[in-house]
Chain A
């Protein structure tokens, strides 16, 4: 088969893997070698679906012995099949890399023959790149569940990131849709890789030259919407993975219908909004100091479609607001809806030299669309909306409601009931008008 055709089949087969980040590794170029990796990660292009292309994301082969219902490469699916040789993969990577198309390689594979054989093939591709081509760019390799741990370890010595996809958030889902896989089968190598990462880090404190192991950490992926699991279940799983296995990232992939199997939900469009909410919550877990129990509970096991998780949390905890921008701790600034890590840092540095008012916040580039309901500056509240859950929720979701016809054309003679602003209320109480 021609290389063109193979690339066509095997890149299309790999596209449902979401991960494409190239950050977290600082591998340096060697003398006479090619490439290095940038700790911040670099995107090289964006495909028509708006997702970044940083790595050459391909499968070694899409010939699979498994028959997982949600997967496009399942055994029973009638699609064209192809396989690269390890040398072809290495050649493609090097030539794309030299033209600055990519930051490195993301190599995955379906299971051919058995897990060990597949893992050996993956290892061989990576070995050729590192040892024969002296390639020092970024490599993300899939570890194959069920493969020998020693194979995974020797591959881990060569790559920057490893990942094992959990795909289905519950055991029940696995039994239903992927009966040949078990959860233990996936978690065991994940735990192994984690223990090796920790061990290597400790070793390198004393022996700088000792070989590195998966310096950019592990990641995994969960499919959203292929099973009936609630958001709460998914988020708790992610939290467990971040804490227990020190994962760098959990990716969420809205289920794109690839099969008409009766075990799968019949959906027309992938649940993109749900995926988006999960990512928002994921960021809250990793960078904002939230727990999953603060965001969701048994009573509300799914995210609100109208409001983002952070605004929702804030509305349920109105007793903590409003926050004084000039005095609040960094941790509390981070909890204001609409204020992110960058904004919070800007506020922290700007207020060291000058106390801030609302104009200053605008100049700092802080988005006040949501934040204005939750903050005060120099003792002043910014909006004329009462500081309670009901009114703020209404104001935040207003945009969606304009479409409904609860508005009226104002005439010269209509009597408008004017709501007193908080300042008016205060003035009437204090008696200074």
Chain B
């Protein structure tokens, strides 16, 4: 059994796809270096990320399949689901066979695996546009923490860059130790280690109190429906919601 190990970047994944094609190999798993399980019988092949090879795959997916397929691949990659890399490889192989029609094969397992990952990512992305909560820090910086299931920080940051263009803000993904930082001009992405501390004065913000107040008063008591609330707003996201803090 052959396993590919890549560095976890999108370019790395595309390089792995390139190698699988030109070495005529069908890897059983493609894992990122952070996620390797050594087994006795497996052969691990380390893939060295090569931007030239990656861009070849990138361009040929775009030209020979479609731009939509390229977007699907990127979004599926961001899902970080287990074994999604192999599903992406199979999707690309199928795509080169079928061309731009690949996304019409909605009941094909290779297409379904990628589409369902894309759906999860896009859904969480949209949910977070609403459910991210910023706290006002000193120096007029707005700071938001969250732990999304998928790696969506890059996806949501463009929305906030348009919306809060006159504001300094930071979106911090605690799970991946990754952050988007915006300074009214441009948005940069940085890795943040554990020791990182914002000068985070836990002063009480009057507007947070007002918001909690509003949240409890807007509910119609005769229609209370906690099941519906949880379905729309899953409990795992409540940790960072201002209105759900006591």
Contact = CB atoms under 8 A, between A and B. Distances in A.
Interface of A: 3-4, 7-8, 11-12, 14-16, 28-29, 32-36, 38, 40, 42-54, 56-57, 92, 95-96, 98-101, 103, 254, 256, 269-270, 272, 346, 349-350, 352-354, 356, 359-360, 363-364
Most buried by B among A43, A54, A98: A98
Given A100-B133, A256-B222, 18 more contacts: A4-B210, A7-B213, A33-B165, A33-B166, A34-B163, A34-B165, A46-B232, A48-B224, A49-B223, A50-B223, A50-B225, A96-B207, A96-B210, A98-B134, A103-B130, A269-B222, A353-B104, A356-B107
B41 interface: no
Contact of A49 (B211, B214, B219): B219
A95 B223 CA distance: 29
A45 B220 contact: no
A286 to B, nearest CB: 22
B67 interface: no
Interface of B: 98, 101, 103-107, 112, 126, 129-136, 142, 144, 159-160, 162-167, 207-211, 213-229, 231-233, 241-243
30 contacts: A3-B210, A4-B213, A8-B217, A11-B213, A11-B217, A12-B217, A14-B218, A15-B217, A29-B162, A42-B126, A44-B131, A45-B130, A45-B215, A45-B233, A46-B233, A47-B229, A48-B216, A48-B225, A49-B225, A50-B227, A57-B218, A96-B207, A96-B211, A98-B134, A98-B142, A98-B164, A100-B134, A349-B103, A350-B107, A352-B104
A363 to B, nearest CB: 4
Q: Which 6 pairs across A and B sit closest by C-beta, in order of nearness? A: A50-B228, A50-B225, A360-B107, A363-B107, A44-B130, A49-B223
Interface of B is mostly: helix
A103 B126 CA distance: 13
Contacts of A46: 228-229, 232-233
Contacts of B241: 45
A29 B163 contact: yes
Contacts of B211: 96, 99, 101
Contacts of A254: 223
Nearest to B144: A100
Contacts of B160: 100
A11 B212 CA distance: 12
Contacts of B223: 49-51, 254, 256, 270, 272
B118 to A, nearest CB: 14
Nearest to A22: B130
A19 to B, nearest CB: 13
Nearest to B205: A99
A46 B209 CA distance: 17
A356 B107 CA distance: 9
Contact of A346 (B106, B126, B159, B224): B106
A52 B222 contact: no
Given A8-B217, A353-B101, A101 B133 contact: yes
B238 to A, nearest CB: 10
Contact of B229 (A33, A48, A269, A364): A48
A393 B231 CA distance: 30
Contacts of B218: 11-12, 14-15, 47, 53, 57
A270 B243 CA distance: 27
Contacts of A57: 218
Contacts of B162: 28-29, 36
Contacts of A29: 162-163, 165
A223 to B, nearest CB: 13
Contact of A99 (B133, B163, B213, B226): B133
Contact of A50 (B101, B136, B215, B232): B232
